[in-house]
């Protein structure tokens, strides 16, 4: 989840990230949907959540040998330790963490709780608040597509004087 909020990448691209893609001070991402080629600095920092990409990548390294940044830390069902996490597992792990956090904070999400993909929108908005170009980060060719991700879905207050 930290990779998703920091990089603003799609679930497929998060699951496909490899340690060998981290080189020369950048995380190299070729987006599966569009083919956009991004070099995201490992110095990328999101102050609002207190995370930087270099530290998050280091945390992906654990006592399990794996090529994948996001992988199983231990055997689970058919998956062996070190194997990549499948997309549905990524989504369900996010949903479980979301629900636990919501329960702890007394938040109810209603009929349409945030999905893993909503982190992409959150990343766009947080990075823009810190002065970064969300369109470049998300790998969009058009500003109109990025505008869809900038939408807070009615979560922000509108001031009327």
What are the catalytic residues?
A: 10, 33, 117, 120, 140, 149
Rounded to whole angstroms, the Cα distance separating 102 from 106 reads 6
**For residues 11 and 85, what is the distance between their CA atoms, to the nearest angstrom?**
11
DSSP letter string, 53-102: HHHHHHHH--SS--SBSSB-SS-BTTBPTTSBPPHHHHHHHHHHHHHHHH
- Quote helix, strand, coil % in the chain, to nearest 5: 45, 15, 45
Of 157, 138, 156, which is closest to residue 148 (Cα–Cα)?
138
Q: What is the residue whose two structure tokens read 């194997």?
A: 83
- Report the C-alpha gap between 52 and 65 in whole angstroms: 23
Helix (H, G, I), strand (E, B) or coil at 50: coil
């Amino acid at each position: 989840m930290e990779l998703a909020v920091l990089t603003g990448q799609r679930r497929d691209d998060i699951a496909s990230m490899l340690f060998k893609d981290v080189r020369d001070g950048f995380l190299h991402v070729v987006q599966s949907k569009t083919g956009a080629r991004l070099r995201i600095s490992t110095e990328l920092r999101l102050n609002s959540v207190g995370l930087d990409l270099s530290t998050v990548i280091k945390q992906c390294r654990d006592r399990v040998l794996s090529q994948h940044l996001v992988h199983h830390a231990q055997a689970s069902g058919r998956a062996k330790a070190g194997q990549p996490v499948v997309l549905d597992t990524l989504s369900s792990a996010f949903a479980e963490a979301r629900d636990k956090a919501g329960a702890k904070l007394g938040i109810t999400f209603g009929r349409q709780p945030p999905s893993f993909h909503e982190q992409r929108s959150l990343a766009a908005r947080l990075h823009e608040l810190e002065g970064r170009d969300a369109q470049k980060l998300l790998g969009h060719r058009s500003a109109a597509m990025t505008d869809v991700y900038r939408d807070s879905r009615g979560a922000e207050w509108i001031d009327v004087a």
